[in-house]
Amino acid sequence: MKISKVICGVLASAMVLAFAGCGKSEKTTLVMATNAEFPPYEYRDGDKIVGIDAEIAKAVADDMGLELVIEDMAFDSIIAAVQSGKADIGVAGMTVSEDRLASVNFSDPYTTAAQVVIVKEGSAIASPADLTGKKVGVQLGTTGDIYAGDIEDASVERFNKGFEAVQSLLQDKIDAVIIDREPAKVFISENEGLIILDEEYTIEDYAIAISKDNTELLEKVNASLAKLKESGRLQEIIDKYITAE
């Protein structure tokens, strides 16, 4: 009897605390859902989550006078977290797509990411259009992998790691590699005789996911992003992680 009373008491106070916590989070915190396995946009540095997205979200939260709380979760549950209100915003290098727009709203894009084509110097491939019928190397599961399926008659070779695709290109086992611009820059700087084609394969806009029910927050975030863009702070954050060309 006594024990159950104690348990009741603990539960009751826990509930009070939980409600208090809820009320608090609506007022003073901005909860960001992300998947901290995508450098340089978000990754773990020690026990902290850092990266372009984390800093931009921090800047947006500061501008709105809120404290940023980052929740690290699986990439495919971020949209669900935003939809259900467990998180206020989803910032995870997320490309705006029709599928996703069906579930959530997106802010104005805060940066763009490109998939580029790496070829050997002197290659007959001068633009992405020349990839037809060629052997194209990609890293399994990346955007480049998904989009490479659209190239006519090309055979797509999916490597576990980006550098293995580049190694195969160096040995003429494949004709080109499609990969994110940032790692591509590293690869060509470390290997002689490789170039990145001027024309990107695709360009994607990265934007912040916000619940469809919360248009007020969407407007606020867009306003903050506009301010950050104007003040140059946004570019500063991006340049800090990505060496400018």
Select 30 or 79, whichever has its Cβ closest to another protein: 79
User: What minimum distance in Å lies between the beta carbon of 144 and another protein?
Assistant: 12
Q: How far is CA 240 from the centre of its chain?
A: 16
| Count of all residues that appear for the chain in the document | 245
| Candidate residues 56, 89, 113, 165; the one interacting with another protein per rule CB under 8 A | 165
Residue 8 sits in the site that holds another protein (CB under 8 A) = no
Range in contact with another protein (rule: CB under 8 A) among 117-125, 162-170, 183-191, 217-225: 162-170
| Candidate residues 158, 181, 185, 227; the one interacting with another protein per rule CB under 8 A | 158
Give how far Cα 222 sits from Cα of 33, 45, 225, Å.
18, 28, 5
Kindly state the number of chain residues that form the binding site for another protein, as judged by CB under 8 A: 19
Residue 200 sits in the site that holds another protein (CB under 8 A) = no
User: What minimum distance in Å lies between the beta carbon of 174 and another protein?
Assistant: 8
Residue from 241, 195, 206 nearest 114 by CA? 206
Residue 217 sits in the site that holds another protein (CB under 8 A) = no
Q: Which positions ≥6 away from 194 have C-beta within 8 Å?
A: 118, 119, 120, 121, 166, 169, 170, 187, 188
| Candidate residues 1, 2, 5, 76; the one interacting with another protein per rule CB under 8 A | 76
Site string for another protein, 96-135 (x = CB under 8 A): ----------------------------------------
Select 98 or 245, whichever has its Cβ closest to another protein: 98
Peptide bond just before 40 cis, omega within 30 deg: yes
Rounded CA-CA distance 105/96 in Å is 9
Residue 171 sits in the site that holds another protein (CB under 8 A) = yes
| Candidate residues 145, 175, 180, 204; the one interacting with another protein per rule CB under 8 A | 145
User: Is-contact 200 127, C-beta < 8 A?
Assistant: no
Rounded CA-CA distance 179/187 in Å is 10
Range in contact with another protein (rule: CB under 8 A) among 14-22, 168-176, 204-212, 223-231: 168-176
Residue 173 sits in the site that holds another protein (CB under 8 A) = yes
Write the DSSP symbol of residue 131.
Answer: G
Torsional sign, CA 238, 71, 15, 85: positive
Q: Which positions ≥6 away from 162 have C-beta within 8 Å?
A: 139, 142, 177, 179, 183, 187
Residue 146 sits in the site that holds another protein (CB under 8 A) = yes
* Binding footprint of another protein on the chain (CB under 8 A): 74-76, 137, 140-141, 145-146, 157-160, 164-165, 167-168, 171-173
